[in-house]
Amino acid sequence: MDKAVVLNVKNLNISFQVNQKKVNAVRDVNFQLYKGDVLGIVGESGSGKSITSLSIMGLLSNKDKDSEIIFRSKNLIKATEKEMRKVRGNQISMIFQEPMTSLNPLFTVGQQLLEAVKLHTHLKKREAINLCVNVLESVGLGRAEALMKEYPHQLSGGMRQRVMIAMAMICKPEILIADEPTTALDVTIQSQILSLMRELNSANGTSIIFITHDLGVVAEICNRVIVMYAGQIVEEGPVRTIFREPQHPYTIGLLKSLPDTRHRDERLYAIPGMIAKPGSIKAGCQFAPRCEFVTDKCRAIAPQLLPTDIANHQVRCFESNRVKEVITVV
């Protein structure tokens, strides 16, 4: 049976005015998030991952009237701030890379959790406290009652990120958006947080959008992957396809830069060149200047995102057949 679509992003475009010029930072992004899925969005810094997630949360003011973000049959792009406040934290939650910037240093953990509960439920004080304690325990934080009275600076980075996850999960959201939630943490803590998120996903059926620049993290937690480059989706597919049969040269570059994969070079690989600034490449494929498969056609015409012969797999590249052959030989 097909899974239900919980979020449908259609034709998302986000632009900024920079020096009186309109700069398109996200272009024609289309994707669906399915019930219970963990969807990874991966790409180098500057590829448009964060502004995509901020626009889902209704936190960007520059809204494109032709873009649609359909959630529970409503277009969130057209929702009022009042309507979005009901959605945020309650139906769609978000956690960020640096929990210290999202937690208020002046309030205790308990005060901040209780505030979130008060905003979205009608629970009495004692019930609300019990809920907070339960949620803190469910994210693996012991001595939860004592923790409620502590301030964010008294906690380690990993504990703060667990508190953030507790806060995001307290109203059992349908969707959790995690923007680089483990990037600031060391490797051991990172893998603990990832397994916590996997547990929450399978226990509550929460659909997760997991944003990261690290394909290694994607392999640990996601079942579907969107690869973004310079504001566009360049490849999308099941995690197995992205790792075993990638067809976009950029995806292959990301895979080659991973330590310890079957695509590994002798030295640790880095994709040559820098990510294109939005609007800097006027014609052709955005990845062309960095691409080892580039042809004259790529420099002249922008490729479309098209289905391949693999199920649920799409790629934006004219040379994907040639890319595919090379990568299976590696």
Which residues of this protein are in contact with Mg ion, per CB under 5 A? 50
Residue 253 interacting with ligand ADP (CB under 6 A):
no
Tokens of 140: 């693996």
- Which among Mg ion, ligand ADP, none contacts residue 51 (Cβ within 5 to 8 A by kind)? ligand ADP
Nearest CB to ligand ADP, comparing residues 48 and 89:
48
- Which among Mg ion, ligand ADP, none contacts residue 16 (Cβ within 5 to 8 A by kind)? ligand ADP
Least distance to Mg ion, CB of residue 275, Å: 12
Q: In whole angstroms, what separates CA 234 from the centre of its chain?
A: 15
Least distance to ligand ADP, CB of residue 7, Å: 18
Q: Give the Cα-Cα-Cα angle 12, 16, 19 (nearest 5 degrees).
A: 155
How much is the CA Rg of the chain, to the nearest whole Å? 21
Rounded CA-CA distance 166/115 in Å is 13
The set of residues, in sequence order, having a beta carbon less than 8 Å from that of 41 and lying 6+ positions away, is 49, 52, 53, 209, 210, 211, 212, 225, 226, 228
Least distance to ligand ADP, CB of residue 16, Å: 4
Beta bridge partners of 234: none
Nearest CB to ligand ADP, comparing residues 183 and 295:
183
Query: x-or-dash pattern for ligand ADP, window 178-217, by CB under 6 A?
Result: ----------------------------------------
**Positive/negative CA dihedral, 246, 252, 258, 264:** positive
Burial of 298 (0-12, 13-18, 19+ CB in 10 A): buried
Rounded CA-CA distance 182/97 in Å is 6
Least distance to ligand ADP, CB of residue 25, Å: 3
Q: Which stretch binds ligand ADP (CB under 6 A): 39-47, 82-90, 133-141, 283-291?
A: 39-47
| First CA to last CA distance, the chain | 36
Residue 237 interacting with ligand ADP (CB under 6 A):
no
Rounded CA-CA distance 94/178 in Å is 6
Least distance to ligand ADP, CB of residue 181, Å: 13
Nearest CB to Mg ion, comparing residues 229 and 318:
229
Beta bridge partners of 75: 70
Burial of 45 (0-12, 13-18, 19+ CB in 10 A): exposed
- Which among Mg ion, ligand ADP, none contacts residue 121 (Cβ within 5 to 8 A by kind)? none
Q: Which stretch binds ligand ADP (CB under 6 A): 40-48, 92-100, 107-115, 141-149?
A: 40-48
Are 140 and 162 in contact by the 8 Å Cβ rule? The answer is: yes
Nearest CB to ligand ADP, comparing residues 6 and 26:
26
Nearest CB to ligand ADP, comparing residues 16 and 269:
16
Q: Which stretch binds ligand ADP (CB under 6 A): 44-52, 137-145, 157-165, 290-298?
A: 44-52
Size of the site for ligand ADP (CB under 6 A): 13
Binder of ligand ADP out of 246, 278, 284, 303 (CB under 6 A): 278
The set of residues, in sequence order, having a beta carbon less than 8 Å from that of 104 and lying 6+ positions away, is 112, 152
Residue 50 interacting with ligand ADP (CB under 6 A):
yes
Binder of ligand ADP out of 43, 237, 246, 249 (CB under 6 A): 43
Please report, as ranges, the residues that interact with ligand ADP according to CB under 6 A.
Answer: 16, 18, 25, 43, 45-51, 277-278
